[in-house]
Structure 1
Amino acid sequence: MATLVAPTSAQLRQANSHPLKIIVLGDSLVYGFGDFEGGGWVERLRRRWMSPTSPGHVLYNLGVRGDGVKQVAQRLEHEFRHRGELRNRVPDAIVLSVGVNDSPRLGRQNGRNYTDFETFKVEVASLLDRAQQLCPVLFVGMVPVNEARMPFLDCLYYNHSDQYRYKEATRLACQARQIPYLDIFDLWMGRGEEWVRSRLTEDGLHPNVAGYQALLQDVIRWEAMSKLT
């Protein structure tokens, strides 16, 4: 049986003179929870691309609150196969953004992680391998939380140390597969703790309006996104 090899971004641009169809799969960061004005960075980008002066690319928001890597993997191919449009029977690219919901400690600060770290690494690797067989893939990393607001929902203890471990595992998995990875965690932490806190909602987990505005700018400025589109 022949192995399906997804085209590169350069081949994609040459082959497609029509607007691209891009799906974004992930958790509440994709869904846009917390942005009551613009609906999140994906929705903001979708609206931007609807402008008469834009290339007219089509963006599907497939974010589900609470999803971890296992749930996104379960949805991957079904979502991909059912998001074709017009001359495109399937989408041209996938943007993934998941992992933060796998990282929290359960019940107490030193409890077990929601998804065991070694299990997470295996599941991320599998997700990326499967996605790459479908089309070009990009990955947008997680935002840092406000640790002072934990626990979330009185039971989930998110923290920067675990976030860093899980995002690094994801970044390295992407690097090994030459999948562009936007390291939002390091980018935001580099802007200072007060900057981060001012861009999160009261729950300490989700970006607020200003946070999603910042995320949109980070994505737009990302070289990998500009090369794709």
Structure 2
Amino acid sequence: MQILVSPPINSTAPPVSSLRILALGDSLVYGFGDPEGGGWVERLRRRWMSPGEANHALYNLGVRGDGVRQVARRLEVEFHHRGELRNRVPDLIILSVGVNDSPRVGKLDGKNLTPFETFQVEMADLLDRASKLCPVLFVGMVPVDEARMPFLDCMHYNHQDQSRYNAAIRSACEARKIPHLDLFETWRSRGSTWCQQQFTEDGLHPNVSGYQALLEDISSWDAFRKWIER
């Protein structure tokens, strides 16, 4: 846990004591679609609450439908209210946002909900601001089930746009030396049949199996393990 003196923001060495971690983002953080485990954040939080496990505190700050702009608005307030004790602040922010900025609105060739150039600027700003608060990890978006689109009869999520927005996130993270878990490419590499089995009927939100896969992917991620392994 950080007190007033914390490790350098770009340090890869984890603090010695238990961590205070914020998971900040959209429905992938919130866990919608997983009535059994509550999503990957909740599954991980419960694991750390078991006797004998690490005493890390993990706050689920996911909001369904949030895009990069909405997450940026919440960033500082959420951060400064999760230190738990006086003069303490969180040790790590896990960001996961971007898929809700990418869909075409109204029709297949409609405009993206957040124009790509605007998204690039706003994502860069979010990462810069978050990095000034504490170290940051970024968990990328997963590929939707295109066959079940449009979502809510108006949002046309698709892999082509997802790939473009995902690449922008990856590039922005690389420029700032922020570790980025590219779940979009990782999941696609497992094949379309496997991917389709990981989603609820809406084709956008992972199901129980999907969130379990997310938990395994994130838990085995080297950048994440460096923080939680003691």
Alignment partners' CA distance in 2, 1:9 and 1:87: 25
What's the CA shift string for 1:89-134, capped at 9, x where partnerless? 2100100000000000000000000000000000000000000000
Give distance in 1, aligned partners of 2:174 and 2:63: 25
Displacement of 1:164: 0.3
Q: Name the counterpart of 1:163.
A: 162
What per-residue deviation string (whole Å, max 9, x for no partner) do you get for residues 117-162 of structure 1?
Answer: 0000000000000000000000000010011101100100000000
Q: Which residue of 1 aligns with 2:63?
A: 64
Mapped pair 1:186 → 2:185? yes
Tell me the TM-score normalized by structure 1. 0.94
Structure 2 CA distance for aligned equivalents of residues 164 and 97 of structure 1? 15
Counterpart pick for 1:6 among 2, 6, 9: 9
Q: Which amino acid aligns with 2:154?
A: C
The 5 A counterparts of 1:37-186 are: 37-86=36-85, 89-186=88-185
Shift of 1:17: 3.2
Distance in 1 of aligned mates of 2:113 and 2:196 = 24
SS at match of 2:88: coil
Alignment of 1:197-216 (within 5 A): 197-216=196-215
Q: Which amino acid is 1:48 matched to? A: R
State the SS of the aligned residue for 2:144.
coil
Identity rate, percent = 68
Q: TM-score, normalised by structure 2?
A: 0.94
Partner Cα distance (1:92, 1:209) in 2? 29
Q: Which runs of 5+ in 1 are unaligned?
A: none
Find the aligned partners of 1:88 and 1:18 in 2 and give their Cα distance. 16
Distance across 2 between alignment mates of 1:66 and 1:202 = 17
Deviations 1:4-46 (A, max 9, x none): x635231xx2xx3321000000000000000000000000010
Give the superposition deviation at 1:55: 1.5
Superimposed CA distance per residue, residues 155-197 of structure 1 (whole angstroms, 9 cap, x where no aligned partner): 0000000000001100110011110000000000000000000
Which structure 2 segments of 5+ residues have no match?
1-7
Distance between the aligned counterparts of 1:17 and 1:151, measured in 2?
A: 47
The Cα of 1:86 is off from its aligned counterpart by 3.1
- The Cα RMSD (Å) is 1.1
48-57 vs 199-208, which deviates more? 48-57
Query: How many angstroms apart in 1 are the aligned matches of 2:16 and 2:97?
Result: 30
